[in-house]
Structure 1
Amino acid sequence: MAFTVADYILERLTQLQVDTLFGVPAAFCADLFDAVGAHGVTAVVTASDLEAGYAADGYARAKGLGAVAVANGVGMLSMINAIGGAFVERSPVVVINGGPSAVNLANLKDNDVLFSHSTGQPDTDLTAYRLVTANAARADTAAAVPGVVDTAITTAVTRKRPVYVEINRDIWTAPCPAPSGPLPLAIPPAGTEQQLAATIAGLIRAASRPLVLIGTEIQRYGLADKLAQLITGLGVRWSVALQAKSVLPEGGNGWSGVFAPPNSSPATTNAVMRADLLVMLGVVFPSSYASLVSGGVNRIVTAYDGKVRIRGGAKQDAEIGALVTALAAEAVKAPPKPAPAAVDPPAPAPAAGPLTYRQVFERVGVALDESWLVVPDTFLGIPSAANLPVKGRDGFMCASVWASIGHSVAAAVGASFGTSRRPLVICGDGGFHMTAQALSTMVRYGRDPVVIVIDNGIYAFEQFLIDAAYFSNPSAQPKPYVVLNGWDFVMFAGALGVSNATSVTTAAALDQALAAAKSSSAAALIVAKVNPHDLPAELG
């Protein structure tokens, strides 16, 4: 059989160890799904387009590159929220779209005849995805496919951002030359890295209270080992942004905790805010960092997005991999300073009494080992998730910068294909409402995530942001628009095929449910009921 356009895309993806294509197939991209078997790729059909995007994002975060294809127009625009989050949080997802044919476009232009799912504009999807990807292009002919696809995938891998490829629906099965060689994925250094590293290392040695804050890009570019050498070589305090939690094992001299303002632990906040030199490597700045970054320019060094800025000076080009490598080399040129002792979490209380937020996270913390990948949602408990004692490296995944609720449940689908760790989702009931159908995908494909839904009947995070006084007054009523329709979550999960679903109201029962879920190789749902007026320890 002739090598085709669909084959070309799949061949390039499999060269980079992508073995799963997420999506909701449609006529415009059916030929792509038909071709996956010949390339050893599993097509995972999700319960919604949004879930497909989140799943591809979770897979990319776990494995390094993901791929997704849904219907043009209705599917693509539904999924754009997920890809927007991937763009913000440096997750390289290849979005593949079967676009209109030449005949479709001619009919639209000449006769005002809409093609399927068209808005009446010829480039709706392409234009929209240019806003949330690092590269977006259309291939109208088979001859154009290698250039469009190679540029897109190279950009995704080197820039750690999603990309968009639109293929004329009529050319999927057209003959196409096979890839001629590997993609050029090496990122050339800017030539400034050695000098910048020497300057930064000198500043760290001269400072009295320096601290290195590790961000997302360190994990995305595989620089954790070099960072460990840097920290040890300089004897410096170190902290991580929430997105980078567990990029290195948490503990040991210098460990200062997860910095996730405004609810970081007092010890972590003190270490970061009192640092006379703060070196932020690969950090994506969420809104909660605004006062830190704007108010501390003269004590901050930043390196992200291929740029370095030292104490308010002009930004300079620098490739982060070369920079961190050079910093690690600089670190061993002199003896390290004595590093301060680690900031260790307090010991958990015994499992006793009715469930509270505190006990949910304490019991989860007790259950954690290196087999789990913790995937918290954006919800009232995210500050508590920041302090979970995650074991080992790469045991945590969250979307805390984009902060779209519901990400966790669907991202766990993708993560379950991309890592050997077992996803342990911790989600509010409001977020679960958004992507609950992902349980169906888990069952259909025999995946094993464990989903804990903290059930308090309200969008509690929104209530907290709007009127936090509600939580300190047991007789207060929540805002009417944050009240959720009550679901029977256990019955719902059973209807989707989840056989291990239970609801718990005590700490001891949560321990038992976690143990039962761990002993099973199937997906599980645990509904942890807490009082609507209860707050996590970090917020109370």
Structure 2
Amino acid sequence: MESTALSVGAYLIERLRAFGVDHVFGVPGDYVLSFFKQLEESPIEVINTCDEQGAGFAADAYARIRGMGAVCITYCVGGLKVANTTAQAFAEKSPVVVISGAPGTNERYKNPLLHHKVRDFDTQLKVFEQLTVATAVLDDPQTAFCEIDRVLAAARRYCRPVYIELPRNIVNAIGTTCLPRITIQEKSDPAVLAAALQEAVALINTSRQPVILAGEELHRFGLQSLLATLIEKTNIPVASTILGKSVFAESHPRYLGVYEGAMGREEVREYVESSDCVILLGALLTDMNLGIYTAQLQQKYSIYCATEKLSIGYHTYEEVGLEEFIEGLLKADIVRQSDEPVPHPLQPANFQVVKDRPMTVQRLFQQLNAFLDDDMVVVADPGDALFGGADLFIHGKTRFLAPAYYASLGFAVPAAIGAQAAAPQLRPLVLVGDGAFQMTGIELSTAARFGLNPIVVVLNNQGYGTERPMQDGPFNDVLGWRYSQLPQLLGQGIGFEVHTEDQFAEALQKAHTHTDSFCLIEVHLEPGDCSEALKRLTGSLAERIHSTV
């Protein structure tokens, strides 16, 4: 054991910085004010948002780019508001550190009814035990440092959220650290890894058309460069899942596009499903990744390796890590594939605007495709913002962020704040429906306050367009806001109201040159207009809904 002069709060800040966290998102409250003061006086920048859910989504996007993010809120009234965003981070493997203030340990004598308390003092802790991979209540300065190390190591190892509860009387208490610091490093069993590689290489080398399906875990664990090296060595074509979009350079000649079963481009579906060796790397087998289970992938021809599972055909291998498996493939004697052309996304062409032509979803995404450049990151909300955006031509790695599994509406606008804080050189292009915008769009106030400049495209189709084809009714309607006038309310930013293709072209051009603040482009669309991918998705979901009635 080794003594230190650091307080518990100061040590937590030091360790967050060691993991690459330079920003903390949150909303203050009395149980966490003293820690907010420590953050303010530290090198970490505090970005306090309009609402806790906005802070949680921002921290999630930050973590997807930086490798770890943090959200700081007060007890219960703040903490329970980020339960939803933490659930998304868990489901989609995003290492967010949830830091919650709490009543002091010296305030809990005889179980008083303190404000914000729900039932018992550990009620919030019990909630987050279900949503995280590790939790800690820092109620003892003598063990607090080791507890901080333990949960942060778990966040890094498993790429999932963790929870730290900080009673307010402990923040400035002097703690004691134990060295060496706790780390979680799990190594593959060498014999099992060797056997798995032998079977995998044999299957690859005897196949006529191997293909790689790259997933989101390659994003989360920073394995994109290993994937790129594997493709260069083997020349095996690669597709991505919708949640893993932008994990591989989309300009590369061996890139096929997004595979999402019957929801995706037909040529991609045909190529992947006709393969006699599909190598799934870091892909979660969710209904969304698999096109609402329209995917036709045969297990006997599959190599499936994720951080928590490895199977080859009908054989399962325990204790083999994703990174070490890919490294093993790189060292193996794999037959290089020919340079025979494969299906490839069309490079964006110059968009030919038709004057006075009403905007449609299809033409909107074609125009956006021509607009994107190397310095943008696309942040999409669920719905047509996501499914239409899946066919956008993304220019760099980790440049497409969307909750394509948990699918919580309201992600995109606050996520743009987290994305730009994590990578200031990138300008977010936000795609969001009007229904989702009404949930968290006011976070543009936060963007304005902190000098951020996202371009926000609101797809105004008068309600929840994803749900209308499944089951329509007045419950899918929302009040028609004048979205383009929001900058007048906030006193910053510029807004555009768009009905036609030429108006959209002019708005995009002006937004591109206006970099001092955010730009909001409200695009009016017919309520029944949607992308072909969304039609296929909602049709499949509608069948499920009606089959259960």
Class of the TM-score when normalised by the shorter of the 2 chains: over 0.9
Identify which range, 278-287 or 247-256, moves more after superposition: 247-256
Q: 1:326 aligns to what? A: 328
**Partner SS for 2:258:** strand
Q: 1:435 aligns to what? A: 440
Output aligned runs, 1:189-208, within 5 Å.
Answer: 189-191=188-190, 192-208=192-208
Change (3 A) 1:340 1:197: farther
8 A Cα contact 1:357 1:537, kept in partner: no
**Partner SS for 2:257:** strand
8 A Cα contact 1:381 1:536, kept in partner: no
CA distance in 1, matches of 2:179, 2:16: 14
**Partner SS for 1:202:** helix
Q: 2:539 aligns to what? A: none
Output aligned runs, 1:495-510, within 5 Å.
Answer: 495-510=489-504
Change (3 A) 1:183 1:362: farther
**1:60 equivalenced with 2:60 (yes/no):** no
Output aligned runs, 1:23-422, within 5 Å.
Answer: 23-108=26-111, 113-177=112-176, 184=183, 186-191=185-190, 192-288=192-288, 289=290, 291=293, 296-330=298-332, 334-345=335-346, 350-352=352-354, 353-419=357-423, 420-422=425-427
Change (3 A) 1:539 1:87: closer
Instruction: Report the number of matched residues.
Output: 524
Identify which range, 179-188 or 315-324, moves more after superposition: 179-188
8 A Cα contact 2:143 2:176, kept in partner: no
CA distance in 2, matches of 1:72, 1:37: 19
Q: 1:488 aligns to what? A: 482
CA distance in 1, matches of 2:107, 2:189: 45
**Partner SS for 2:118:** coil
**Partner SS for 2:152:** helix
TM-score, normalised by the number of residues in structure 2: 0.91
Change (3 A) 1:533 1:437: same
CA distance in 2, matches of 1:180, 1:263: 52
8 A Cα contact 2:61 2:419, kept in partner: yes
Which sections of structure 2, spanning at least 5 residues, go unmatched?
A: 536-549
Identify which range, 494-503 or 264-273, moves more after superposition: 494-503
Which sections of structure 1, spanning at least 5 residues, go unmatched?
A: 467-477
The one-letter code sitting in structure 2 at the alignment partner of 1:73 is C
CA distance in 1, matches of 2:375, 2:284: 27
8 A Cα contact 2:74 2:101, kept in partner: yes
Deviations for 1:335-383, whole angstroms, at most 9, x for unmatched residues? 4344542422275552221111011111111011110000111012422
**1:445 equivalenced with 2:450 (yes/no):** yes
8 A Cα contact 2:251 2:395, kept in partner: no
8 A Cα contact 1:8 1:178, kept in partner: no
CA distance in 2, matches of 1:503, 1:158: 46
Give 1:306 deviation, angstroms. 3.0
**Partner SS for 2:469:** helix
Give 1:280 deviation, angstroms. 0.8
Q: 1:461 aligns to what? A: 466
CA distance in 2, matches of 1:136, 1:285: 27
Deviations for 1:191-238, whole angstroms, at most 9, x for unmatched residues? 333432332122112112221100011111111121122223222221
Instruction: Kindly indicate which of the two structures has a greater share of residues assigned to helix.
Output: 1
**Partner SS for 2:368:** helix
Deviations for 1:65-84, whole angstroms, at most 9, x for unmatched residues? 10111111111111111111
Deviations for 1:80-107, whole angstroms, at most 9, x for unmatched residues? 1111111111110111111233344333
CA distance in 2, matches of 1:539, 1:125: 37
Tell me the percent identity. Answer: 27
**Partner SS for 2:72:** strand
